[in-house]
Structures are given as C-alpha cells and as structure tokens.
Amino acid sequence: MTAFARRIGAGLLLALICTYASAQAYPSRTVRIISPFPPGGTSDILARTLAEKLALEWGQPVIAENRPGAAGNIASEYVAKQRGDPHVLLINTVGTHAINPAIYPNLPFDPLKDFTLITNLVNLPSLLIVHPSVPAKDAQELIALAKQKPGALAYSSAGSGSQPHLTAEIFKAMAGIDLLHVPYKGAAPQLQALIAGEVALTFATAPAAVPFVKNKQARAIAVTTAERVSTLPDVPTLNESALPGYVAVGWNGLVAPAGIPAPVVRKIHDTVAKIYALPEMRERLVNLAAEPAICTPEEFTALIKAELVKWAKAVKDSGAKLE
C-alpha cells in the first residue's frame, strides 16, 4: 500500500469515527420539536407527548415549540433553513408535505430535498362533526340540509390550504353542495369556533376532535377512513353512509432539516420507535383514534412521494384554491 493510499484510508477511518462519535454525543443541547400549528391540535399533542418521553430517554431537555401560520408553511420553512442541525425537529403533516405543494404556487421549501425524513408517527382519520344545534343526525341529512340552504352553512378549517380545508372541499364537490369556508389559524381555534357555535360543522383530525365528541360539545356525523374506527364504533364512515369512495386519511410524521448524519438519524428513529412501542403510549394514541405508524426513513420517503401525487390530483379534481 502506498503512502497516499494509507493517508486516504486513515482519512476515511477518521471520518467514520467522527460520524459515530457525533451520534454518541447527540443530543448535546436542548432539542426543539416544532409544531406547525397552535397549541391544542394534533401536531401539538404529538410534539408535547414525544418531547416528554425523549427528554427521559436522552437526559437532555426536549421542548415543544409552536410556530403556526400559513397552513404550516412558516414552521416548515424555518426547520428547512436549519440545515445540518438535528436539534431542531418538526412534526410534519399531510398538509405541510403533501397538500401544500399542490396549493401554494411558490412554496419556500422542497418537501423532500430540504428535509431528513425520519419516520411517520401516526395515521389520522378525520371526523366530520357538527355543533349540537345542527338538526342533521347523519351525513345524508347534513347534505340535504346544505342543499336546502346553499352557502348558509359555514365550516371552519385550520387555515386556507390546510387538510381540514381540502377535506371539506372534496366533501363539497362529491356531495354537490355549497358551504361557506371560514379559515382559522390552527386546529385549536378551528374547533373552538365550532364549540362556540360560530360555524355549523368542521372536519377535524380525530385526536383533537374526539374529546369534544365524548364531552357532547360536538356531534360526530362520520369518519373519513375506509373503515370505522375502534374508538367511535357507532360513527359510520362517509364512504358507507353517503358518499361511496370518499376516503381522506391524514398522518403526522417526524422530520429534521436536510444534512443530518445517518447515525444521528438512526438514533432519533430508534428512540422514537422505542417510545411508540410502549404500551401506555400506544393506548393513549388509540384512545384518541390515532393509529401508531412508525416506519423506516425509506418507507416514509415512499409514503410522502405517493401522497404528493395523490393530493395533487385531489386538489385538481376538487378545484380547491387558496382564499
């Protein structure tokens, strides 16, 4: 072996040792899990729950931080700009990484190239819920009511271009009805608007909506999954009750900025997978109608690529636009 070859080999060995050491040392300071929506929504619930468990596992502070606005784009852009820093993580959603690219013409980040995709966390059915004063007891009655009063029934969303917005627009298109869209800045105010009677109905992710249904502050009309969910076995699907073929399932995952060393990604992934395998964690998620969905980074990448195609078609077919 020549001296040059030995130097190359030593350099590669040193690089491997440094990369391994960086994973061993991680995290070396406070980790922030960014939620793209205000407190009270599903992303916030997941961020705070995960932060608490990660802090115990790693022996370093892990905090949840809300950066709401622009249907999640503000938080996503912020994290994308932290290239190479694994101490800034993001709870991404079907909205931020699959729907927004089809809705926003000049998105300030690339949902694949600007992020390190770590794992999906949960699959999320949405609930079509109404204020208790709304006389409709099922989806067919609600559609009939909307047809009697075109444009009179208002629905809230987490913002223009958000998943609840698009989910409702697909519902409108398939049902042939006219509803008034009232956008709010996040899932929590979206739900509060319904509870306060400011709007008649909304589509909300199950973990955020289920507590209000169980407290009888809202009435569940239907779920958006292909099959009924175990937490609400008496609530039919839209697919079975009124609109055959209607299925709209969301998800929340965990990503970091691009440029994170593979050993660090593995450490984050494996720790999160360990936490999500805990019986108490699974029970908590299932009780909120969220299906744990940990996967490999490669599987998560494939999911997002497929979702980009799926939701781009849904946006086009529904005619949904920013307001």
Element (H, E) at 107: none
The residue from 181, 208, 241 where one domain ends is 241
Q: Are 165 and 119 in a shared domain?
A: no
Q: Are strands 31-35 and 180-183 parallel, antiparallel or unpaired?
A: unpaired
Residues of the domain holding 189: 125-241
Q: How many CB atoms lie within 10 A of CB 176?
A: 9
Judge if the upstream peptide bond of residue 27 is cis by omega within 30 degrees of 0.
yes
Q: Is residue 205 part of a domain?
A: yes
Q: Is residue 183 part of a domain?
A: yes
CA–CA distance, 154 with 319 (Å, rounded to integer): 18
CA–CA distance, 212 with 78 (Å, rounded to integer): 32
pLDDT classification of 16: cutoffs 50, 70, 90:
very low
Q: Is residue 1 part of a domain?
A: no
The string of pLDDT tens digits covering residues 117-127 is: 999 999 989 99
Q: How many CA atoms lie within 13 A of 37 on its CB side?
A: 31
**Could you give the number of structural domains in the chain?**
2
E strands in 76-200: 88-93, 115-130, 154-157, 180-183
Q: Are strands 115-130 and 291-292 parallel, antiparallel or unpaired?
A: antiparallel
> Residue 56 contacts by C-beta under 8 Å, 6 or more apart in sequence?
none
- What value does the mean pLDDT of the chain take? 90
Q: In degrees to the nearest 10, what's the CA dihedral of 296, 299, 304, 310?
A: -150
Q: Is residue 11 part of a domain?
A: no
Q: Are 119 and 138 in a shared domain?
A: no
Give the residue from 63, 1, 2, 62 showing the smallest Cα distance to 26: 62
The residue from 218, 241, 264 where one domain ends is 241
Q: Are 223 and 136 in a shared domain?
A: yes
Q: Are 149 and 100 in a shared domain?
A: no
Q: Are 207 and 298 in a shared domain?
A: no
Is residue 321 pLDDT above 90, yes or no?
Answer: no
The residue from 241, 264, 285 where one domain ends is 241
Is residue 115 pLDDT above 60, yes or no?
Answer: yes
Q: Are 223 and 271 in a shared domain?
A: no
Q: Is residue 23 part of a domain?
A: no
Is residue 320 pLDDT above 70, yes or no?
Answer: no
Give the residue from 265, 296, 297 showing the smallest Cα distance to 26: 265
Q: Are 151 and 235 in a shared domain?
A: yes
Q: Is residue 4 part of a domain?
A: no
Q: Are 115 and 159 in a shared domain?
A: no
Percent of the chain at pLDDT exceeding 90: 69
Instruction: Output the pLDDT for position 42.
Output: 86
Is residue 49 pLDDT above 80, yes or no?
Answer: yes
Q: Which amino acid is at 181?
A: H
CATH of residue 45: 3.40.190.150
Q: Are 87 and 135 in a shared domain?
A: no
CATH of residue 158: 3.40.190.10
Q: Is residue 298 part of a domain?
A: yes
Instruction: Output the pLDDT for position 134.
Output: 97
Q: Are strands 249-257 and 88-93 parallel, antiparallel or unpaired?
A: antiparallel
Q: Are 96 and 161 in a shared domain?
A: no
CA–CA distance, 258 with 126 (Å, rounded to integer): 30
Instruction: Output the pLDDT for position 70.
Output: 85
The string of pLDDT tens digits covering residues 162-203 is: 788 889 988 998 999 999 999 988 888 999 999 999 999 999
For 241-262, what is the mean pLDDT?
95
Whole-prediction pTM: 0.79
Q: Are 106 and 133 in a shared domain?
A: no
The residues that bridge with 122 in the sheet, in sequence order, are: 252, 292
Is residue 34 pLDDT above 90, yes or no?
Answer: yes
Q: Is residue 308 part of a domain?
A: yes
Q: Are 148 and 106 in a shared domain?
A: no
Q: Which amino acid is at 141?
A: E
Is residue 49 within 8 A of residue 35, CB to CB? The reply is no
Instruction: Output the pLDDT for position 3.
Output: 59
